C-alpha cells in the first residue's frame, strides 16, 4: 500500500527547531518508504493564524530541503490543504456524530471547570479531563441553561479504555477517566483540533501520522473519533520533543531559534538537518548533512523517549560557519 504522511503546522508563530525536527522526521519516514508527503496548514483558529506565517513556513521548510507532493499552492486530489477552507467537511462529520447521539451540549464555562478542584488531572494536550457535568442533563435543565448561555458541543468518549500501539513508544493505554468528553465545537462556532485533524487525516488518506509526543494523548481521542465516524485510523508515531539545556521546550516564542531567524543569520540548512540527524542518532558526529542525504539513514530506534536535550554547545555549532 502506498504510504501517505503529512506535516500539519499551525501558522500562529514561526517554525522553530523543534518543529523542524518533527517536519524532517515525518518527511524522512515517507520519503524512505517511497510514499507521498503532504503539507496541511492548520489554520482553523482564525484569530491565532496568520496567512503570512503560513507562507513563511513553506519557505522555511523548502530551505530545510523538504518537498511535498500535495499542499497549499500546488493543490492535489484531496484539497483544499488549509483547514480554514474545509469547514463543510467538519460540519458533515459533526452532523453524523450528532445524529448518532455521540455529542451533547455543554454549558460549563472555563471558570466553572477551574473551580472543580477535585477534577482528575487530565492529559496535557486537552487540559483537565472534563468531569461530565453536562453529560446527563435533563431536557428541562438544558432548556434553562440554553436561555443564558450558548453551549459548546462535547463528544461522548466511550467508557472503555483505549489502547493503541505507537510506532515509537509502543503500547499505550488510556483509561476513560483520564480522557473525559472533549469539545468538538466551541461555543463560538470553532471546530476543535481533535475533530478537524481526524476528519482531515482520514479524508486525505494519511496512513502514517508522525508528530511530537506532546500530542500523544490526543491520539486516544482521535481514535475514538475514527471509531465513531467509521473510518480506519492511520498508524501513529510520536517523537520526543527537543528541549534546551534547562529542559524547556523550544516554542514559537523563542524567535532567535526560529527557522526564519537562522536563515536570516546565514545558517546553512545542512547544519540544521545535520544537528537533527545527530540528535536522532542517525549520524555519529555533528556534521552538515542535507535532508535528502538522511533519507536512507532514517530510523526511530533511538527516539523512544519523551525529550531530547539540545546543549548550548550544539546550538553554537549550528550557528557557526
Ligand atoms: N497543528 C498541530 C500543531 O501545529 C499538529 C497537528 C498534528 O500533527 O496532529 O501542533
Q: Is 241 in the pocket of ligand 1 (CB under 6 A)?
A: no
Please identify which of the residues 145, 232, 252, 255 carries the catalytic annotation.
Answer: 252
Report yes or no: 196 and 93 within 8 Å, Cβ to Cβ: no
What percentage of the chain exceeds 90 in pLDDT?
86
| Ligand 1 touching residue 9 (CB < 6 A) | yes
Using a pLDDT cut of 70, give the percent of the chain over it: 97
Please calculate the CA angle 273-279-284 and round it to the nearest 5 degrees.
90
Q: pLDDT digit string (tens) for 35-58?
A: 999 999 999 999 999 999 999 999
Rounded distance from Cα 229 to ligand 1 centre (Å):
21
Alpha-carbon span 217 to 197, nearest angstrom = 14
Contact predicate 53/13, CB 8 Å = yes
Tell me if 8 is assigned to a ligand binding site: yes
Atom 7 of ligand 1: nearest residue by CA position: 8
For residue 130, say whether it is annotated as part of any ligand binding site.
yes
Q: Residue 256 — very low, low, confident or very high, per pLDDT cuts 50/70/90? A: confident
Distance from Cα 250 to the centre of ligand 1, integer Å: 15
Q: Is 187 annotated as a binding residue?
A: no
- Residue 305 is among the residues annotated as catalytic for this protein: no
Output the pLDDT for position 116.
Answer: 65
85 three-class SS: helix
Is pTM beyond 0.75 here? yes
The per-residue pLDDT for range 117-170, each reduced to its tens digit, is 454 444 457 877 898 999 999 999 999 999 999 999 999 999 999 999 999 999
pLDDT at residue 100 is higher than 50: yes
Residue 124, pLDDT score: 55
Report CA(258)–ligand 1 centroid distance (Å): 17
Give residue 80's Cα distance to chain centre.
18
Nearest atom within ligand 1 for CA of residue 214: 10
Whether residue 8 contacts residue 42, with contact meaning beta carbons closer than 8 Å, is answered with yes
Q: Give the three-state DSSP class for 191.
A: strand
211 carries a ligand binding annotation: yes
99 versus 111: which is more confidently predicted?
Answer: 99
Q: Is the CB of 211 under 6 A from ligand 1?
A: yes
pLDDT for residue 105 is more than 60: yes
Cell 507532493 belongs to residue: 69
**Which residues sit opposite 123 in a β-bridge?**
127
Atom of ligand 1 nearest to the CA of 197: 9
CA of 78 to the centre of ligand 1 (A): 18
Does the structure show a pLDDT above 70 at 184?
A: yes
Q: What is the pLDDT of residues 233-255, one digit of tens each?
A: 999 999 999 999 899 998 776 77
Amino acid at each position: 500500500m502506498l504510504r501517505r504522511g503529512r506535516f500539519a503546522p499551525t501558522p500562529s508563530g514561526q517554525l522553530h527547531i523543534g518543529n523542524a525536527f518533527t517536519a524532517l522526521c515525518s518527511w524522512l519516514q515517507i520519503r524512505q518508504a517511497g510514499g507521498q508527503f503532504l503539507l496541511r496548514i492548520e489554520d482553523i483558529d482564525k484569530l491565532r493564524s496568520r496567512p503570512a506565517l503560513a507562507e513563511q513556513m513553506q519557505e522555511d521548510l523548502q530551505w530545510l530541503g523538504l518537498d511535498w507532493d500535495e499542499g497549499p499552492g500546488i493543490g492535489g486530489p484531496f484539497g483544499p490543504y488549509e483547514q480554514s477552507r474545509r469547514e463543510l467537511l467538519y460540519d458533515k462529520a459533526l452532523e453524523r456524530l450528532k445524529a448518532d447521539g455521540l455529542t451533547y451540549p455543554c454549558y460549563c464555562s472555563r471558570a466553572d471547570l477551574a473551580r472543580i478542584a477535585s477534577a482528575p488531572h487530565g492529559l496535557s494536550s486537552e487540559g483537565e479531563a472534563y468531569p461530565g457535568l453536562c453529560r446527563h442533563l435533563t431536557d428541562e435543565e438544558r432548556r434553562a441553561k440554553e436561555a443564558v448561555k450558548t453551549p459548546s458541543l462535547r463528544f461522548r468518549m466511550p467508557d472503555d479504555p483505549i489502547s493503541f500501539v505507537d510506532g515509537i513508544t509502543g503500547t499505550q493505554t488510556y483509561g476513560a477517566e483520564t480522557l473525559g468528553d472533549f469539545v468538538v465545537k466551541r461555543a463560538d462556532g470553532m471546530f476543535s483540533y481533535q475533530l478537524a485533524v481526524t476528519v482531515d487525516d482520514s479524508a486525505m488518506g494519511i496512513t502514517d501520522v508522525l508528530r511530537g509526543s506532546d500530542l500523544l494523548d490526543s491520539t486516544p481521542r482521535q481514535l475514538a473519533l475514527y471509531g465513531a465516524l467509521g473510518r480506519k485510523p492511520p498508524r501513529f508515531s510520536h517523537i520526543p520533543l527537543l528541549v534546551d539545556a534547562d529542559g524547556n521546550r523550544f516554542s514559537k516564542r523563542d524567535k532567535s531559534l526560529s527557522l526564519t531567524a537562522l536563515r536570516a543569520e546565514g545558517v546553512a540548512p545542512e547544519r540544521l538537518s545535520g544537528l537533527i540527524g545527530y540528535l536522532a542518532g542517525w549520524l555519529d558526529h555533528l556534521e552538515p548533512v542535507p535532508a535528502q542525504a538522511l533519507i536512507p539513514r532514517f530510523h526511530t530506534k533511538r527516539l523512544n523517549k519523551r525529550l531530547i536535550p539540545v546543549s548550548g554547545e550544539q546550538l553554537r555549532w549550528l550557528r557557526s560557519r
